[in-house]
Amino acid sequence: MPQPFVQSSSDLSPQSSGDVDSARSSVPASVGELLASATGPLFSFEFFPPRSEEDEPVLWAAVEALAPHEPAFVSVTYGANGSRRDRTVAATRRIASSGGPLTVGHLTCVDQSKADIASALAEYRDAGVTNILAIRGDMPGGGEWRRHPDGLANATELVRFVKEQGDFCVGVAAFPNPHETSNDADLDARILCDKVEAGAEFAITQLFYDAERYGELLERMRGRGCTVPIIPGLMPLTVITQIERFAELSGRPLPDDFVARLRAAGSKEEVREIGLAHAVTMCRDLLAAGAPGIQFFTQNRSKATREVLTALRATHAR
């Protein structure tokens, strides 16, 4: 069994450049290279930074529990200001310096000047992280988007800015369901193409629960001559109260038949079984449709992701 890819110590202090260089030499240089050389589906995990010191054990327990599944890469979401940003960089640094999988740092435009963004990129680079997921981000509390007076307006500008700062491999967000601000799938496809033209080398989708939407997204992109690898993002639904929240995150109601089965379940255990079965089936359908892999949004929990991956690999082993 592979060893956990983070140290057992809870120390998040910066590693020496030698430690970072040693760890970096053991993994491919970029997500783009991983995708180009892959001979099978790549599985990856997204975590978020601990909100406080008390939350740190939860994150690292999830990271270590998922390590035996040998992710192609992992990513850590971005807290734009103050301690959350520091914790993002610290968590990303710890994983990057461990000799484990490739590590992707998130970056947003929210409440940040260009100087702030450049500073964050310098911190990532110092940590040995040269793969960035560049997204515009949402305003705190879901308010109307406002550009920082000295900042960037959108993800396309952010991609271009990141590329200007150094040799970073940049990924971006893709939307199987129309983005809530546009409600226009064709416009979303054009914007994704713009991000690719600005330098993006891969995309990860927002949450969605209907595999057909992924195929439709690929068709829209191919129609524009854009063949950037698009990795579907997935979060297994295991609790009935997640229905409304996940619909909000995905930008569309969940499929009617899926919701009906969840609501008809006679117990919490049955809800979980239905949710996991849907996730496994969706993963299989997405891979069959040509997805290069699956990104699991873990919410710093490991059990559901481990169960889905175990079921998928058991099927492939037959």
Catalytic positions:
46
- The two tokens of residue 178 are 């129309």
Angle at 179 between CA 87 and CA 303, to 5 degrees: 50
- The two tokens of residue 44 are 């990856």
DSSP string, 111-157: T--HHHHHHHHHHHHHTT--EEEEE----GGG------TTS-SSHHH
What is the spatial distance between Cα 45 and Cα 295, in angstroms, rounded to a whole number? 6
Q: How far is CA 221 from CA 35, 147, 292, in A?
A: 18, 28, 15
User: In this structure, are residues 228 and 203 in contact, taking their beta carbons and an 8 Å threshold?
Assistant: yes
Angle at 11 between CA 74 and CA 295, to 5 degrees: 10
Instruction: Name the phi and psi angles at 293, rounded to 5.
Output: 170, -170
Q: How far is CA 252 from CA 206, 209, 291, in A?
A: 11, 9, 21
Residue 52, strand partner residues: none
